[in-house]
Structure 1
Amino acid sequence: MKYSLLFKALFLIVSFGTSFSQENSSGDIISGIIQKNAQKFIKNKNINSVSIGIYKDGQVYTEHFGEIIKGKNNPPNDNTVYEVGSVSKTITGYLVAKAVLEQKIQLEDDIRIYLEGDYLNLEYNSTPISIRNLITHTSGLPMFLPFKMNGLYEKLTEEVPNEYLALEKSYSKEKFLADLASVSITAKPGTNYLYSNAGTELIGKILETIYHKSIDELLKENFSTKFNTPTAQIKLDSIQNKKLVRGYWMNSQTTAPNNLNPLWGTAGGIKMTIIDMMEYVELQLNNKNPIISESHKALYEVRSPLNIAYFWRVWKDKYGTSYNHHGGTSGTQNWLFIYPKYNLGISIITNQSGPKTPNLLSKTAQKILKELIKE
């Protein structure tokens, strides 16, 4: 009897040791993959720092490299707060999917149901813009409102961040709705894919209307509290705001201003830490969550193999069906990839913004993916 108990105890110790060793080995491999690719990434011109997060099979791995401020030797960390730009749209998409499931809205609803005033211009040949059109970027609305913002980031001059800030300072929700009444829709909604921040901000207005709550209240209720993503907000408290990164535009030696987000913030106003992002990845990989399943439904084919779901870019290739989105501001850029087939998510964030940055981020994430799958 004693020998039997001793054998069982030894078996448990050996088994636990083996499991612990395998977990450590897996962590070491993933950490090595992150470090190798991050070091290559920050060697690129104008890149100063990078934060990389990987969620794999229930485990989270985060690493940080470089400097937040040039010459200060202050690398980012798990508490560093970033503007995640248009990755905010996927969070907005989650709120829309929830509203659809709760039957507060329907995808084919004429958006004018939720607006005060006639807005007779928000249709083409009697076909109105629908909720579906807004969340798939097929509404025909411009990239930006105010109109002066359109084309601003194509100039690539050093003054762009401050010019953008000046336009934000002079704008408001009231002016947005006034400008919306002067938009001209030149094609049947649902026909053409035309990426639109204006359309996503309009979704924010609709969400506030149907829930009678602000977007930050909805974020707190549905993310910050429920899924432990405390920084996933548009308006930060004073403590969080001190941790918010100001990054660099192009080859500038001075930091760009953070966005003001005078509208609803649903197009690109959310801030997050890399840990918040990993919590969000875990949520996105929960296929038992009906809101996630709804938000991942492909609603419009841009071109094979790219479809659009509730703002998500849905991609089909040898890695299965995956979901991704890029986000950028005047000082930060990031890319988020979700691979359900491998129970995997990759987030990569840098405090530099320029026309080459999205491609650098995407290539780095793809290299990490290939190495993770190989291992």
Structure 2
Amino acid sequence: MKKLLSITLLLSGFFVFAQKTITEKQIFASMDSQAELFLKATKANSFSIGIVKDGKTYTRHYGEMDKGKGNKANNSTLFEIASITKLFTGTLMAKAVLDGKINLDDDIRKYMTGSYPNLQFNGTPVTIKDLVSLKSGFNKDLPDRSELLKVRNDSTAFKVEKLEKSYTKEQFFKDLKSIKVETMPGTVYNYNNGTLQLTAHILENVYGKSFETLLKENMLIPLQLTHTRLHINQNETVAKGYDGNGGLMPLLPYSLWGAAGYMKSTLADLTTFLKFELDKKNQLVQESQRDLLHNKNYWNAYFWDEVTINHNGRNARKHGGAFGTQNLFWVFPDYNIGISVITNQAGENTYGNLYSAVQNLIDDLKPFGQKLIGREIEKKCFENIDSGIAYYKELKKNKSDSFNFSDESELNNLGYKLMRSGNIISSIKLFQLYVSEFPNSGNPYDSLAEAYFNNKEYALSEQNYRKSLELNPENTNAKEMLLKIEKETGK
């Protein structure tokens, strides 16, 4: 399974390492190195990095916005920030809670216009904290794009664009009456843009102002985010976006309240927003990042992808993906470091490479703490997989405090790098190590099964997909792959 999230606990040795001084030269060297790796791996035209460290900002831009045009991005280039918009929506909801306008444990229908007897599960209503934690239990998104996304091709983005453009608030409220809450609210993660639009409606009701006005008055103006907004001026242009094959993509259309992903911003403004999200003394920041459902190890807070405690201390991550642009916004408060990376590409492997870039940047820039084990053994694994695995075991035996061995994503990501490079046998051996290190997790078996499938070892692939399903019955990928194996083997 390619996108494994880090769910590890804070390590007992996290704060025992001696601090070292990271120089400005080292910061820019790390940025240059990661940009080179990213552009090589993705073939993207452009890559921008913004870092806030100890209150100081560092930015650099690489490549060109449009191939052959020589038009390098700068700190004033407007990008679609897509789902980073959700952090603004979540912060406004956190403010409403702190203002006493909303109670987290209240039924969401208390703040809605109209009657919605369907928004409950066996008599248990969806509460505000379920909504903002992305655990509403709603059975579909609004608008419902599921049919359009079943078969993805070069025209999919344009079909979704057409749907979004024509979708109205009247249709939204009509469709909301057909929503079914299929799981107990607060229990199952469900990334749903419709819940963000509903949040905007609730905010308008409790404050008596438009969502856009609330954004301006409470965030954009106070934080001096002068180039961040829902609607751009006529004389402004937004960076063009491309798919993984270099095809020009449409911009996300304005839809409903724009609360799920319509905002535009610049790297300069995003680094200012990083500073805001790193402020441990700001009550609004702390509220918007806190664990609402008492998950302890990792949580979604107010519309974050994940807030977790691991080898990087407490950290919070949000990914924004448009048709042709992707960005990753990540704060590490225990190190007083924030990182925002943007590219005007949205390909199959763009997110994974953005994730790796940020992980490597924080690995370089943090003054203490455990380092990435996957990064440490990568070179040896590519040269000789058996030597790489032996090196892993040696480090785990002799330097377990120096490297992070508890994060599953380390071996998972390295295994996929090997697979994508064509080293299928090496990836199988790496995933076998992954399984042996995390035998009670479903994801290692899923990844090993995929490697076996790609090597046409269907019996072993089936065996591991079934083990993954045994450990994680919600693994839809395993179910789909087992059907593919049936077709391949004629069972």
Q: Counterpart of 1:103 in 2: which secondary structure?
A: coil
| 2:103 maps to 1:106 | yes
Return closer, same or farther for 1:83/1:154 CA change in 2, 3 Å cut-off.
Answer: farther
Structure 2 length as normaliser, TM-score? Answer: 0.68
Q: By how many angstroms is 1:168 displaced?
A: 1.2
Q: Which residue is 1:19 aligned to?
A: none
| CA distance, structure 2, for counterparts of residue 276 and residue 154 of structure 1 | 36
| CA distance, structure 2, for counterparts of residue 319 and residue 290 of structure 1 | 22
- Asked whether the 8 Å contact 2:318–2:330 carries over to 1, the reply is yes
| 2:134 maps to 1:137 | yes
- Asked whether the 8 Å contact 1:129–1:139 carries over to 2, the reply is yes
1:305 counterpart (280, 294, 297):
297
| CA distance, structure 2, for counterparts of residue 83 and residue 141 of structure 1 | 27
Query: What code does the residue aligned with 2:349 have?
Result: K
Query: What code does the residue aligned with 1:134 have?
Result: L
- Asked whether the 8 Å contact 1:158–1:250 carries over to 2, the reply is no
| 2:81 maps to 1:89 | no
| CA distance, structure 1, for counterparts of residue 148 and residue 293 of structure 2 | 28
| CA distance, structure 1, for counterparts of residue 162 and residue 294 of structure 2 | 36
Q: Which residue is 2:244 aligned to?
A: 250
Query: What code does the residue aligned with 1:116 have?
Result: T
Q: By how many angstroms is 1:61 displaced?
A: 0.4
1:185-209 CA-partner distances (Å, limit 9, x unpaired): 1222112111111111110111111
1:156-193 CA-partner distances (Å, limit 9, x unpaired): 31111111111012111111111111111122211211
Moved segments of 4+, more than 4 Å = none
Q: Counterpart of 1:238 in 2: which secondary structure?
A: coil
Q: Counterpart of 1:300 in 2: which secondary structure?
A: coil
Ranges in structure 2 where 5+ consecutive residues have no aligned partner = 1-20, 369-491
Q: Which residue is 2:72 aligned to?
A: 75
| CA distance, structure 2, for counterparts of residue 305 and residue 153 of structure 1 | 32
Ranges in structure 1 where 5+ consecutive residues have no aligned partner = 1-22
Q: By how many angstroms is 1:150 displaced?
A: 2.3
- Asked whether the 8 Å contact 2:140–2:179 carries over to 1, the reply is no
Return closer, same or farther for 1:237/1:186 CA change in 2, 3 Å cut-off.
Answer: same
| CA distance, structure 2, for counterparts of residue 36 and residue 62 of structure 1 | 14
- Asked whether the 8 Å contact 1:57–1:343 carries over to 2, the reply is yes
Q: Counterpart of 2:255 in 1: which secondary structure?
A: coil
| CA distance, structure 2, for counterparts of residue 355 and residue 141 of structure 1 | 27
Q: Counterpart of 1:209 in 2: which secondary structure?
A: helix
- Asked whether the 8 Å contact 1:46–1:352 carries over to 2, the reply is no
Q: Counterpart of 1:63 in 2: which secondary structure?
A: strand
How well do the aligned residues superpose, as a CA RMSD in angstroms?
A: 1.8
- Asked whether the 8 Å contact 1:54–1:347 carries over to 2, the reply is yes
Q: Counterpart of 1:283 in 2: which secondary structure?
A: helix
| CA distance, structure 1, for counterparts of residue 265 and residue 186 of structure 2 | 32
Return closer, same or farther for 1:64/1:228 CA change in 2, 3 Å cut-off.
Answer: same
Return closer, same or farther for 1:143/1:305 CA change in 2, 3 Å cut-off.
Answer: farther
- Asked whether the 8 Å contact 2:137–2:181 carries over to 1, the reply is yes
The count of aligned residue pairs is 347
Q: By how many angstroms is 1:270 displaced?
A: 1.4
- Asked whether the 8 Å contact 1:158–1:252 carries over to 2, the reply is no
1:160 counterpart (156, 159, 168):
156
Identical columns (%): 38
Q: By how many angstroms is 1:374 displaced?
A: 5.3
- Asked whether the 8 Å contact 1:55–1:345 carries over to 2, the reply is yes
* More displaced 10-residue stretch of structure 1: 48-57 or 82-91: 82-91
Query: What code does the residue aligned with 1:97 have?
Result: A
Q: Which residue is 1:328 aligned to?
A: 321
- Asked whether the 8 Å contact 2:44–2:244 carries over to 1, the reply is no
Q: By how many angstroms is 1:153 displaced?
A: 4.4
Structure ranking higher on relative contact order (CA contacts 8 Å, 6+ apart): 1
- Asked whether the 8 Å contact 2:314–2:334 carries over to 1, the reply is yes
- Asked whether the 8 Å contact 1:161–1:249 carries over to 2, the reply is no
Q: By how many angstroms is 1:143 displaced?
A: 5.3
Q: Which residue is 1:17 aligned to?
A: none
| CA distance, structure 2, for counterparts of residue 220 and residue 54 of structure 1 | 25
